[in-house]
Amino acid sequence: MQLKRHFSLKFVFLMPLVLSAIVLALTIKNYVDLVNREISDEYGRIQNDLSRAAKLVTAIDYSFTNYSKSQYIFLLEHNRQIKNSVCQMWPIDALLLTDGRNHDMPAVDINYMLVGTTELCDSDSDVYQRVASQVSLAPVLSFMHDIDETILGVQYIDREGYLMSSPDTYAKQATAELLDTIKARPFWQSTAQNPDVISISGPAPIAATSDLVMSLTMPVYSLGEHQGMLSLDIAYDELMDTRGKLSGKLEIINATTASFPDNATRVEQFNLEGVRGDHHLIYRLDPIKEIGYFVSSHRYSLLVIGFIYVFSVIVLFLINTRVEHGYLKDLAAKDAMTGLLNRRGLQDFLVNAQHGEYVAIAVFDIDNFKSINDTYGHDVGDNVICYMADQITYSIRASDAAARFGGEEFVVYMSGSNRDALKKSLLRVQQSIRSRSQEVVAPGFTVSGGVEIVDEAQASNFEALFKAADEKLYQAKTSGKDKLVF
């Protein structure tokens, strides 16, 4: 016997799985959208930082080009020393006060150093005189260096081979060999050839700290003559740091010197006004790490999705269990062939039924049913039984009940306030069965029945009522058939 279910087992497991998959897909889509927004925000931040740095370079260039000697800054005497054939100069007092201002005002902390050949330390040399005309701008480099935490250093490299740097870290690493060959280096040549734009280079390590830097460089011209070069170094790792917002890495790739890695996504070229370079921003996608980050950041959502799946399966199982329980209950109370009540089902019905003033129990039996089976076969006999069940069902009221007790024996329960009306109703049932019986077997068939009608007070003893009706059925069978005995 196959149990009747409201949902198939495949549906019970697959439907919640589909719903959970849809929720998971929406969660993943929201995560991907969030990652893309974060990448866009970080790209915007990086470009804004570089754009601001470019403006700083431009501002410093303006200062060096137009104000070779300031009239308003008072510089203290500089310390001087020669170390490893390199002259180093730095301010004696790192606190700078603006000339003519109240000395109660806070001073500005500055940090810079000038380095060059040993000639720089000779106050009578031409190089010293040239530095003297520019050193008043050294604090400007220190001020610019402190504006943004991503700026590692700002340098001015003069055509005469000396270097002005803030902070002094870079300058302390300068060697005589570097100063002698600085103008022959590619970055000097490349920057000098582009007087109207800022050149961007890197990321590349610097000798002083081995940190990766992005460099923005711009030549300094005065009266059409090349004077030197400004360089602003940005901490690459600090610039690329997403503060844990993304699982992957942001990188800057110089397309002229390097190729894009296989896992590069969201490739976007820099669009910085006045800056020359073929640099692109990329997001390095690590699928395993990205999945781990997704699971970690959406663990509660994933738990909810898992709960939805388990809960849905349990609910569908409960629905199926209830349907199966109802089906088994009906199966225990109904005849499998006709769908009418069986003996147990009729007894349960009578226990809960609201009886009228009179109760009638009728037992119907097909006349000569064995002959029908022998003549036409058991298939036709089954059709006759099903036909009779249908006709009884169509002929009784919703408050009445019909049952099959096995074989060709049927029992009908009726209740009402008038004995004669009950008799007429049961005769109508018999006539309905007989009148169209030729449709199921030729030349038709008849039925006999025994009816017991009692007061409502006597209706509680079903076995007694059935026995009485069955005895009257026997009388109908032995006294000519095709009739009801009341």
Q: Would you write out the chain's pLDDT as a tens digit for each of its 486 residues? A: 444 556 677 877 888 888 899 999 999 999 999 999 999 999 999 999 999 998 888 888 888 877 554 444 333 478 889 998 999 998 876 555 445 444 554 555 678 899 999 998 888 888 888 888 788 788 788 888 777 888 888 999 988 889 998 888 888 888 888 888 888 777 787 787 777 889 888 898 876 567 899 999 999 888 778 888 999 999 999 999 998 889 999 999 998 888 999 999 999 998 888 888 889 999 999 999 999 999 998 899 999 999 988 998 888 878 877 876 766 666 666 888 888 988 888 888 888 888 889 999 999 999 999 998 888 999 999 999 999 999 999 999 988 999 998 888 999 999 999 999 999 999 999 999 998 899 899 888 999 999 999 998 888 888 899 999 999 999 999 998 999 998
Strands 484-485 and 447-455, sheet pairing: parallel
> What confidence score (pLDDT) does residue 69 get?
44
Domains and CATH numbers, the chain: 9-40+296-315 (no CATH), 49-233 (3.30.450.20), 343-485 (3.30.70.270)
> What confidence score (pLDDT) does residue 2 get?
46
> What confidence score (pLDDT) does residue 222 get?
80
Q: For residue 437, give both structure tokens.
A: 């019986």
How far is 464 from 469, CA to CA, in rounded Å?
9
How far is 136 from 70, CA to CA, in rounded Å?
6
CB 215 within 8 A of CB 232: yes
Residue 290 CA, chain-centre distance (Å), reads 13
State which H helix or E strand residue 249 sits in.
Answer: strand 249-254
How far is 290 from 288, CA to CA, in rounded Å?
5
**3 state SS of 381:** helix
Strands 225-235 and 212-222, sheet pairing: antiparallel
Q: Is the peptide bond before 261 cis (omega within 30 degrees of 0)?
A: no
122: left (phi over 0), alpha (psi -120 to 50) or beta: beta
Strands 108-109 and 95-96, sheet pairing: antiparallel
Report the candidate in 325, 470, 347 with the shortest Cα–Cα distance to residue 403.
347
Residues linked to residue 234 through DSSP beta bridges, in sequence order:
151, 214
- At 139, the amino acid letter reads P
How far is 478 from 207, CA to CA, in rounded Å?
124
How far is 443 from 372, CA to CA, in rounded Å?
11
**3 state SS of 42:** helix
State which H helix or E strand residue 324 sits in.
Answer: helix 299-333
Q: What is the CA radius of gyration of the chain?
A: 52
Distance separating the N- and C-terminal Cα atoms of the chain: 41
7: left (phi over 0), alpha (psi -120 to 50) or beta: beta
> What confidence score (pLDDT) does residue 102 get?
47
How far is 153 from 434, CA to CA, in rounded Å?
112
- The phi and psi torsions of 465 (rounded to 5 degrees) equal -65, -45
Strand order in the sheet with 401-406: 401-406, 409-416, 358-366, 447-455, 484-485
How far is 462 from 465, CA to CA, in rounded Å?
5
Residues 114-131, buried b or exposed e (16+ Cβ, 10 A)?
A: bbbbeebbeeebebbebb
How far is 330 from 138, CA to CA, in rounded Å?
99
